[in-house]
Structures are given as C-alpha cells and as structure tokens.
C-alpha cells in the first residue's frame, strides 16, 4: 500500500514538472499590444492637434477620447463603449461654442482657465444605473466625464440642450464646491428634499417640463434630491432653457400650487443664484435692465440657437 502511494506521488510530481517545463518554453511575442495597461504612446493626429488648439492651448484643458478604463468607468458594474473618432470633433466644437464661449463673454478667459476642469473625458455610450441614465459626472475641479458622445447631434436642439444641461449642471457643482452658496438656500424648501423620492415624478416627462416639481418649488424633479442639486439645477436649467421658459412654463404652474408657496420659493432660489454668481464670480446671470449689461443666460441662449442653425465645423 505504501509503495502504491509513493509511486502515485512520483507520478503526480512528474506531471507537474512536465507541465511547468512546457510553460517555460512558451513566449509572448514582442509586438503584441495589450490595451489599457498604459505605457503606450501614439503620434498626434489631426484631431489631437485640433483639440490642442481649441482647448489645451487657450483653456489649459486636456480632452481624453482614446479608451482608458481608469478614466472612464464610474463603477465596475458599468457597461460602456468608446467614443467613435468621428464623433469627437462635432461634439467638442459645439461644447466649445455653447459652454466655454458664453462663460468667456460673461466672465473672461481667465475665469475658464482657473475654474474649468483640467480634463474632459468622452465616452461613447450613456451609463445605465437602477433605471436611470447618467450622461455626465464631475470629479471636483479635476475632471468632467461626458457620456453618450456617439449619439450627439448638434442640429438636434433637444439633444444639444440635454447635453449642455449635463455639462452646465456639473460645472455648477465645481463652482459651489469652490465657493459655497448662501446656506439659507437650504431652508427655502426644507422638508421637500428626498434622495430617492424624486424618481416617482420622473416618469414619462420631458427634460424641460416637470409640473409636479414646479408645484413644489423646484425647476426639475432631480432638484428635489438635495439642496446642492437644487441649486445647480436652478442655475443650469435657466441657462439652458432660458429665463423666458422659467417665466412662462415654470412659474405659472408654481403660482397655482395649493401644496406650498412654490412661486415665492422659486423666486427666492433664483435671487440667491443671481447674487451668488455676481458676488462670488463677478458674473451677471440675467440681463441687467437698468445698465443694459448682458447676462450669461443671454449668451448661452444665443450660442445654442447659433449652433443648432449652423453647427461649427472648426
């Protein structure tokens, strides 16, 4: 019996040594490139040169479009696809004209250099999370991740505004994370915020029409999730959809609300946003009727109309 065990052990050892011996002879070709591991460099192409001239040189911003999982994934459960090469320039040209240029007009180029994220990272697809769609994410003042780039069409006004809303929403987070807004803001709608409750109102509604939220004193359903989201939604929604939209679509619903004083709540929020931008950043948010100074909202509205009518090619 003992002899059998010894022979069996020798047999297993021989098999193991044989296997190891075979593996030692295996090699990996020197010219095989394994993507995503880093350490590779690619020569600058025409797109890289255009991005450098339009974003890196004037604003000190790096635009990342080549696939890099470390830059692009927000969670390990995400299923994302790379941005297509031909989708990069149309999207970034439109973003330059509807995001950077209006802020430069209202606040100056030094403001963009100082406050804009150092990286804009593009992903081809949106990210689906628990029944909702994520189109962007800010990581402090360091990076803005823009998703769904492969489906971007600058001539589609609704799609352009949706993408711009994502960008300006995330950029507003960068601003208030640098200089906080008036803490009394959180008292205006105290008791109405809910981290998840807003989702019940978010079904079958368009991006710019959410009557249930207006009746509670909010410009969108997502604004009901927290005071910070509420603040950046007031700022970004009015920039994207316009003061006229706010006056003619949001306020009338709020004024008829029987649940709360939604009308005054919205007016107070807008007033704090205006004061915040002017006092913290020297930015006129709406046109000044007394001095005639144009506001950031006018510049954004004008830029959106121009891009939709004549999408930039350079």
Strand pairing of 143-146 and 62-64? unpaired
For the stretch 100-154, pLDDT in tens is 999 999 999 999 999 988 899 999 988 776 666 777 777 766 888 888 999 999 9
Answer yes or no: is 8 within a domain. Answer: no
Q: For 204-251, what is each residue's pLDDT tens digit?
A: 456 778 999 999 999 999 999 999 999 999 999 999 999 999 999 999
pLDDT in tens, 280-304: 999 999 999 999 999 999 999 999 9
Which pTM does this prediction carry?
0.82
- State the residue range of the domain holding 298: 46-309
| In a domain? residue 11 | no
Residue 81 within any structural domain of the chain = yes
| C-alpha to C-alpha distance for 159 and 41, rounded to whole angstroms | 34
pLDDT value at position 21? 39
Count of the separate structural domains present in the chain: 1
Q: What is the pLDDT of residues 28-37, one digit of tens each?
A: 455 544 444 4
218 token code pair:
């909010």
| Distance separating alpha carbons of residues 89 and 49, to the nearest angstrom | 11
Res 5 pLDDT > 70: no
For residue 119, give every residue at least 6 positions away whose Cβ sits within 8 Å of its Cβ, in sequence order, or none: 61, 62, 63, 64, 71, 142, 143, 144
37 belongs to a structural domain: no
Query: Is residue 18 in a domain?
Result: no
In a domain, 297, yes or no: yes
Greatest distance between any 2 Cα atoms in the chain = 105
**Is 16 a domain residue?**
no
Q: What is the CA radius of gyration of the chain?
A: 26
Report the C-alpha gap between 186 and 227 in whole angstroms. Answer: 5
pLDDT at 278 over 80: yes
pLDDT score, position 8: 44
Q: Quick check: is 314 in a domain? A: no
Q: Residue 58 half-sphere exposure, CB side, CA atoms within 13 Å?
A: 13
Per-residue pLDDT, 41:
67
Q: Are 140 and 147 in contact (CB under 8 A)?
A: no
Q: Which pLDDT does position 18 carry in this prediction? A: 44
Strand partners, 206: 209
Q: Read off the CATH number of the domain in which 168 is found.
A: 3.40.390.70
């Amino acid at each position: 019996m003992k002899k059998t065990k010894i022979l069996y052990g020798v047999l297993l050892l021989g098999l193991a040594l044989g296997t190891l011996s075979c593996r030692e002879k295996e090699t990996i070709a020197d010219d095989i490139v394994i993507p995503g591991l880093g350490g590779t460099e690619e020569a600058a192409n025409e797109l890289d040169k255009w991005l450098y001239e339009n974003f890196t040189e004037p604003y000190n911003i790096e635009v990342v479009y080549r696939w890099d999982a470390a830059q692009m994934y927000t969670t390990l459960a995400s299923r994302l696809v790379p941005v297509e090469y031909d989708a990069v320039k149309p999207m970034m040209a439109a973003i330059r004209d509807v995001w950077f240029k209006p802020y430069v007009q209202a606040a100056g180029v030094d403001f963009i250099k100082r406050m804009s994220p150092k990286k804009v990272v593009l992903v081809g697809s949106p990210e689906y999370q628990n029944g909702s769609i994520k189109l962007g994410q800010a990581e402090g003042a360091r990076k803005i991740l823009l998703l769904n780039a492969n489906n971007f069409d600058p001539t589609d006004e609704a799609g352009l505004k949706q993408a711009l809303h994502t960008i300006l929403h995330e950029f507003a987070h960068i601003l208030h994370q640098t200089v906080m807004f008036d803490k009394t803001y959180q008292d205006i709608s105290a008791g109405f915020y809910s981290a998840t409750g807003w989702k019940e109102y978010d079904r079958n509604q368009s991006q710019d029409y959410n009557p249930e939220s207006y009746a509670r004193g909010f410009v969108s359903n997502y604004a009901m999730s927290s005071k910070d989201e509420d603040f950046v939604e007031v700022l970004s929604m009015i920039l994207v959809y316009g003061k006229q939209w706010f006056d003619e679509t949001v306020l009338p619903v709020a004024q008829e609300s029987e649940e709360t004083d939604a009308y005054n709540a919205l007016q107070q929020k807008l007033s704090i946003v205006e004061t915040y931008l002017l006092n913290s950043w020297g930015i006129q948010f709406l046109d000044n009727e007394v001095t005639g100074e144009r506001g950031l909202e006018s510049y954004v509205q004008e830029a959106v109309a121009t891009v939709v009518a004549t999408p930039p090619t350079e």
